[in-house]
Amino acid sequence: MRILFVGDVMGSAGRAALETYLPQLKTELRADIAIVNGENAANGRGITEDICRQFYAWGVDCITTGNHVWDCGDIRSYIARDPRLLRPANYPRGTPGKCLYIHRFPDGRRIAVINLLARLFMDPLDDPFRAMESLLAEHCLEEDFDAIFVDFHGEATSEKMAFAHCFDGRVSAVVGTHTHVPTADAHVLPGGTAYMSDAGMTGDYDSVIGMRKDLSIQRFVNSSSGDTFVPATGNTTLCGALVVSDDESGHATAIQPVRIGNTLPPALPDI
C-alpha cells in the first residue's frame, strides 16, 4: 500500500499549496490514499466544514487534527457527522467525533487511520499510550487491516520516538505532526513500523512556523502577548511523507519525505 501523508496545513497559504500540489502528487507517487493534517487550515487555527469539503474535492481521503481541532466553534456539530474528519483518540469519553477512520479500497484492502495527541508541553489529556493499546485491542494489524497509520500530534520528539518504538510492528506507520518543521529521520523501525518525528508544515516557510515573522519577532523581542497568531501568506510549500507497506504483513517497507514548493529544497520519493 502507498500512503501519502501531508503535514499541518497552515492557513490560506497551506490550502493553496494543497490544492496546487496534491492532485499531481497522488498521481506521480501512485498513492492509494492521501491523509492530511488540517488542524491549522482555517486562518491558522482549527478547521471548518467548508474547508473539509474543499480538501475532499482536491483528493484528500482522511483529515487528522490535533490540539487546535476545536478552535472553530461550529466544528463540534460537523465533526460528529463526518467520519473522515478525526480528532485525537485520547480526548475524554463523550467528546464528539471519531478518532479512527477505516478506508476500504475496491480491491478489498483496508487501512485504519488513527489520530492521537501527545502530552509533553501539550494539553493534559488522557494517556495516548493507553489509548493506543485500547484501540489495538479491537483493531489488529494483519488480522483486521492491511495497514494502520497513526498521526501522533505532539511537541516533544522524545515522546514521539518512544511512542513509535512502543508500537513498533503493531502499526504500519507513526508520523508526527505539530512542530511545523520537517525532520530528517524518516526510517523503518526494526519491527516494521515507518517513523518520522514530524512531517512538517504545508504553508509559507518564509515565516515563524507559519506565522507572520514580524509579529512573531515582536513577541520575543518585546515580550509581547499581542495577536501573533496571524498566518504568513506568501510562498507555498507542501511537506509530508510517503509510506510504502507490505499488504501481507502490514509492515512498512519504506518511508521517504515529500517536499514541493517555493522555499525548502525539493524532495520527491523514488520508492
Contact 7, 177 (CB under 8 A): yes
| Catalytic residue of the set 68, 103, 178, 251 | 68
Task: Please say whether the dihedral angle defined by the alpha carbons of residues 160, 260, 206 and 37, taken in this order, is positive or negative.
Answer: negative
68 is catalytic: yes
Q: Hey, what's the cell of 82?
A: 463526518
The span from the first CA to the last CA of the chain, in angstroms, equals: 12
Task: Please choose, from the candidates 137, 129, 267, 141, the residue with its C-alpha nearest in 3D space to the C-alpha of residue 193.
Answer: 141
Contacts of 173 (CB under 8 A, 6+ apart): 3, 5, 147, 148, 149, 150, 193, 194, 195, 243, 245, 252, 255
* Cell 487555527 found at: 45
For strand 110-117 and strand 173-177, is the pairing parallel, antiparallel, or unpaired? unpaired
Catalytically active residues, by annotation: 68
